[in-house]
Every structure is written in C-alpha cells, then in structure tokens.
Structure 1
C-alpha cells in the first residue's frame, strides 16, 4: 500500500485524501487539518427543539396536556432527531476536505462517552458534540473541564442525583478511571471527596451549574490537597499527578495507529504531552510525523466507520441510503452515541468477529452489484419503518483505474491503494478475475475491475491498515 493511501485512512476515513498528502506533504496536510473551519450553524432538525431549561419545562407541560396518540407522535419526532444528528455527523465525516477533525471528534466521543438512550434531549447531545468539535485539537485539561460541566455528562453519569448528604459517585469515579488518570492512580477516598466536590452540579442553559442548596461547601481532601474544591479544581489537581499523560496517549495511539501500542511508545509520547502542557495539536503532530517515517502498516483492524466510508468512496457511490449506513454501523457495533457502556468501544479484535466479517462481505457484495445497503447487510434487524423504496433502488458504482493500463498494472494499482501486503496466491486469484486479455476500453471494463475490488474487500488483509 502506498504510504499516502495508508495515512489517508489513518488521518481520515478513506483513501480520498491520499493525493493531498502527497501534494502538501504530511506536516502541511496536518496544519490544514488543524486550521479547518468548524461549522457552528445549528442543524435544521434542531431548530424547533427545546434548548433552555424554561423551554424544556414548557415542552414537558405541553406534552402532558396531549392525548396519548398525539404525545406519541411528538415523542417519535424527538426520537427521530437523534437519527438525524447521526446522519448529520456522518455527512461531515464523509465529505469534509480535511476529515482529521471529525476523526478526532469521534475519538473524543468514544473517550467522553454519553448515550442517547439515557439523554433524551437531542440538543444536549449536539452540545456535547460541539464541545468535542470546537476543542478537538485543543487542550486536554480544558476539554475535560468543559465536558464534566456539560448537561449531557451530568445526566449520563447521574450527577443530577449527587447532592450534599446524598452523594452519587459515578461522575467522580469515571473522571478518574476512564477520562483522565486510570485505575491504580487514585484512592477510594479521592472518589468520595470528588463526589462531594461535584455535589449540586446540575442542569443549566449553556451547561451544568452548581445549585446552591445542593452543593457541598465544606473542605475536601483530594490527592492530598485540602480545600473547598469544585469541578474545575478537581481537574486541575488531577493534571498535577505524574501519571496523567499516559492513559490518553495510549488511547490516541490505539485509535489512529496500533491496536496494541507499546508501553515504550506510550511513555515516550506521554512525557512529551506533559512538556507541551497537554496541548493535543503538538502531540498529534509528533506522533504522526515520527510514526510516518516507520513501516507500520497492518497493525490495526479497520473500524466499521473506515470500512463503510472507504467502500463508498472507492466505488464512487453518491446516492447511498444514509439511514441504512447508520443501521449498518449499529449492527457492526459502532453506533454513534450508543456505546454499550461508559468505557466506549473496545476496538481491535472486537471489530472483526465472524458476524461482523460476514456483514462486511454482504455489504461489499450489495454495493458492487449496485444495490443500496439493505436490511440484509444490516443483519435484517433495521426498524420496519425505513424507506423501503430507496432500499431497493440501484446505485451508481464506478472504480477509478488507469484506462491505459493492462490487467497487471491495474491489479497493482488497486493493490497499492487497498492492501498492505499481497502474496502469490492473492495475485493469482486477481489475475484469474482480470485476465491477460483484459481491455480497459471495453464498455464492461468497469464491471470487471469492480469484481477484483469485491474480491479484495473480502480478504483478511483488506481489514487491516
């Protein structure tokens, strides 16, 4: 696989940015990614949604006055807005010129996990997503403070039930265990006192705020320091601890490059992360530029998102059914804002179970046959109310290849952008599909090359980057 194609997959979701990486060079490509514009325009599907606490209260009272049938219709519309948010985000991942920001948003979304099954206010999910988007390349300490004080997080981790004299430790525990420093680097007393410091942090219009009658204003001892600490104070104290850089550095290496990063790499980049005061942009730059110089292909299993976007882009499919794509991701175990628990997606081998592999092969078959992604590809478990007409429509599929080449040069072209390694058996199979007398000018040439592509997508080697 050409290095530019490999790194296009790592810094985005397909090989679509390979030419830009070759044109600009890696460092300039990264700079353009960091400087990419953040779209802050409110999506149309949220325009009528309640956003302030007063609007939410009025909306709740309005629902109570409706008869059950009308109430159900409105609640179904609210539920559908989560689906619209998922499609809105997928469109950004698929179409952004420099998709590294969206890839980093997805990373943070799987780090600071909240779930739409528990948070029924779609606007709060959107707010959470925008915190991640606007701070994707910013400071780890600062994004942690903002997320801890988001309505979505205080709802998801039950901090609305955390009040003086009746403490809930969920947010306090996960702040330490999963969001910052990791197991083994804190005590149960730190968790208990952290919960006291977070008591009373509850819903607000633009984010969580303390409610005076519920907060604990007494002194708490946290990592050996005593004071009347609040949410920001906790984060500041955590970031003074010696092991703070390593949990997040390990997760970044795993997200982008290695399913099993070495401890040496985790420590090396973690120490650098501390030196740059927990700024994400310079950390990503040093990781990507130093690892780019190495031969490290085939160390990571593609997640379902990379798999489906690469498939769509390679086949130049423009009229795919976004609802079915989201359903495909759900059945692959990568549904946005719907992780099984606060730990997030495991990644690695969990992305390639026998069932997931079969679903991937079915999806490749369908698109290569110019059929839209269907219930079959999503394991026949998509909601019954999906657009069945669109499901049955044909899609356009076209593979880019050198129209002046021959069978071997075209096979090499596909291999260079799709496979990190090719053995003699694979080469022979591809030459049996695209024979020596292949004519690239033939009207059916595209169909023949698509058959080779379809074969490649089913190889175990294709699943790796």
Structure 2
C-alpha cells in the first residue's frame, strides 16, 4: 500500500486524503488539519430541545401531566434529536476537508465516554461533543478539566449523587483509572478523597457547578497534598504525577497506528508529551511524522467507521444516507454516543469477530452489486433466521482505475490503494478475476474492476492498515 493511502486511512476515514498528503507532504497536511475551522452554530434539530435547567424542569413537569399520546410525542422528539445528532456528526466525518479533527473527536469521545442512553439530554451530549472538538488538538489537562465539569459527565458517572456525607466515587475513580493516570498509579484513599473534592458538583445551565449544601469544604489529602481541593485542583495534582503521560500516549498509538504498541514507544512519546506540557498538537506531529518514516503497515484492524466510509468513497456512491452509516456502525458494535461501558470500544480484534467480518462481506456484496443498503437489509444480515424479503433500490457505483492500463497495472493500482500486502496466492486470484485479455476501455470494464474490488474487500489484508 502506498504511504499516502495508508496514512489517509489512519488520519481520516477513507483514502480521500491521499492526494493531499502526497501533494502537501505530511507536516503541511497536519498543519492544515490543526488550523481547520469548525461550525459552532447550534444544529437546527436541537433548537426546541431543553437547554437550561428551567427548561428541563418544565419538560419533566409536562411529562408528568401529559396524556399517553403527548408522552409518545415528547419521547419521539427526544429520539429524533438523538438520531439527528449522530447523522450530524457522521456528515462532518464524511465531508470535512481535513477530517483529522473529527477523527480526534472520535478518539476523545471513546476516551471520555458519556453515553446518550444514560445522559438522556441531547443538548448535553452535543455540548460534550463540542468540548472535544474545540480542544481536539489543544491541551490534555485543560480538556480533562472541561470534561469533568460537563453536565454530560456529571450525569453519566453519577456525580449528581455525590454529596457531603453520602459520597459516590464513580467520577473520582474513572478520572484516575480511565481518563488520566491508569490502574496501579493511585491508591483507594486518592479515590475516596477525590470523591470528597467532587461532592456537590452538579448540573448547571452551561456546565456543572458546585451546590453549597452538598459540597465538602474540609481539607482532603490527594496524592500526598492537603487542601480544600475542588475539581480543577484534582486535575492539576494528577498531572504532576510521574506516570501521567503514558496511558494517553498508549491510547493514541492504538487508535491511529498500532493495535499493540510497544511499551518502548509508549514511554518515548509519553516523555515527550510531558516535556511539551501536555499539548496534544506537538505530540501528534511527533508521533505521525516519526511513524510515517517507518515501514509499519499491517499493524491495526480498521474500525467500522473507516471500513464503511472507505467503501462508500471507493465506489463513488453519491448521496449515501448517513442514517445507513449510523445503523451499520451500531450493527458492528460502534454505536456513536453509546459505548457499552465507560471503558469505551476495545478496538483491535474486537473489530474483526466472525460475525462482524461476515457483516462487512455482506455489505460489500450489496454495494458492489449496485444495490442500496437499508435498515431492513442490515437487520436481515445480522439475523440469520430472518427470512423476510428485502427490497433493494439500484444505485450507481464506479471504481476509479487507469483506463489506459492492462489487467496487471490495474491490479497493482488497486493493491497499492487498498491492501497492506499481496502474496502470490492473492495475486493469482486477482489475475484470474481480471484476466490478461481484459480491455479497460470496454463498456463493461467497470463491472469487471468492481468484481475485483469486491474480492479485495473480503481479504483479511483489506481489513488491516
């Protein structure tokens, strides 16, 4: 696989960025990505959703007194906004000129997990997502402070139940275990003292705020330091600890490049991260530019986002419904805003179980045959016992290839774009599909190349970058 194609898949969601990476060079491409602008205007579908605490209270009161039809209507509106929020984000991933920011938002989204299923307030989920977008390339410590004080996180990790004399340790524990320093680098006492410091941090109109009747203003001893600590103080103290950089550098390496990064690399980049005072942008530049120089393809299984968006892009499908992308991701275990637990998606081998692999192959079969994917089709593929007849619409598909070449040059072209390696057996299979007498100018040439592409998408070598 050509480096520009490989890194387009790693830094974006498809091969669309390969020409830019080749033309600009990786460092300039990264600078454009960091400088990319993003829309801060509230999406229209959230206009009527409750945003302030008063509006939320009014909605709850309305539900209490509403009849069953009105309750259904309110629930339907909540579900509508939740679905539109997913489609809105998928649209950004697909259409941003430099999608690295959205890929980084997705990384942080899986690091600072907060699900819509539990939070239930779509505006809070949107706020959480926008914090990640704004700080995607910023400072890790500052981002952590913002997330801890977000309404979504306070709700998701039950800090609303954390009050003086009746402590809930969930947010305190995950702040250490999953968000910053990792298991083995703190004590149970730090969790308990942290919970005391976070007691009373509750919902606010724009972000979480301390409630005087519930907060604990006595001294707490946290990592050996004593004082009347609050949320920001906890984060400051955590970021003074020796092992703070390594959990996050390991996760960044796993998200972008290696399913199993070496501890040597984790430490090397972690030490640099501390040196640059936890600024994300220089860390990413160092990781990407140094790893780019290595021959390291075939180290990571594509997540479902990369799989489906690459498929749509390669087949040049116009007007592909973002709702279908959303359903596909859910089927593959990557439901946006709804990880199964606070640890987030595991990644790695979990993205290539036998069932997921079969679903991917079925999806490729459908699209490569020029048939649309519907929610019913996805459900049918997921359920082997479903014998119901599924209707398909025809869609236009087209594969980009050199019409001035021959069978071998076109096979090489697709291999360089799509496969991290090609062995003799694969080469032979491809030459049997696209034979020596293949005419790239023939009216049915695209059909033959699409058949070759379909074969490629089912190879284990295609699932890996």
- Secondary structure, counterpart of 1:372 in structure 2: coil
- Which whole-Å deviations, capped at 9, do the CAs of 1:124-143 have from their partners, x for residues lacking one? 00000000000000000000
- Secondary structure, counterpart of 2:126 in structure 1: helix
Residue equivalent to 2:234: 234
Residue equivalent to 1:342: 342
Residue equivalent to 1:50: 50
Residue equivalent to 1:266: 266
- Secondary structure, counterpart of 1:336 in structure 2: coil
In structure 2, distance between residues paired with 1:324 and 1:212: 47
Unaligned stretches of 5+ in structure 2?
none
Q: Mapping of 1:18-97 within 5 angstroms?
A: 18-97=18-97
Contact kept? 1:164, 1:199, Cα under 8 Å: yes
Contact kept? 1:319, 1:395, Cα under 8 Å: no
Residue equivalent to 2:114: 114
Q: Mapping of 1:364-383 within 5 angstroms?
A: 364-375=364-375, 378-380=378-380
- Superposition TM-score, scaled by structure 2 size: 0.97
Residue equivalent to 1:180: 180
- The question of 1:288 aligning with 2:293 is answered no
Mean Cα deviation higher: 182-191 or 72-81 = 72-81
- Which whole-Å deviations, capped at 9, do the CAs of 1:145-172 have from their partners, x for residues lacking one? 0000000000000000000010000000
Unaligned stretches of 5+ in structure 1?
none
Contact kept? 1:362, 1:377, Cα under 8 Å: no
Contact kept? 1:321, 1:373, Cα under 8 Å: no
In structure 2, distance between residues paired with 1:381 and 1:223: 52
- Secondary structure, counterpart of 1:221 in structure 2: strand
Q: Following superposition, which runs of at least 4 residues in structure 1 exceed 6 angstroms of deviation?
A: none
- The question of 1:357 aligning with 2:357 is answered yes
- Secondary structure, counterpart of 2:399 in structure 1: coil
Q: Measure how far apart 1:55 and its partner are.
A: 1.1
- Which whole-Å deviations, capped at 9, do the CAs of 1:345-395 have from their partners, x for residues lacking one? 000000000000000000000000111123465343899xxxx9x973222
- Secondary structure, counterpart of 1:226 in structure 2: strand
Residue equivalent to 2:15: 15
After superposition, the Cα gap between the structure-2 partners of 1:45 and 1:338, relative to the gap in structure 1 and judged at 3 Å, is same
- Secondary structure, counterpart of 2:117 in structure 1: coil
In structure 2, distance between residues paired with 1:343 and 1:431: 44
Contact kept? 1:360, 1:377, Cα under 8 Å: no
RMSD: 1.6
In structure 1, distance between residues paired with 2:382 and 2:10: 29
After superposition, the Cα gap between the structure-2 partners of 1:420 and 1:138, relative to the gap in structure 1 and judged at 3 Å, is same
Contact kept? 1:197, 1:230, Cα under 8 Å: yes
- Secondary structure, counterpart of 2:226 in structure 1: strand
In structure 2, distance between residues paired with 1:381 and 1:126: 31
- Which whole-Å deviations, capped at 9, do the CAs of 1:413-456 have from their partners, x for residues lacking one? 00000001111111111111111111111111111100000000
- The question of 1:251 aligning with 2:221 is answered no
Q: Measure how far apart 1:85 and its partner are.
A: 0.5
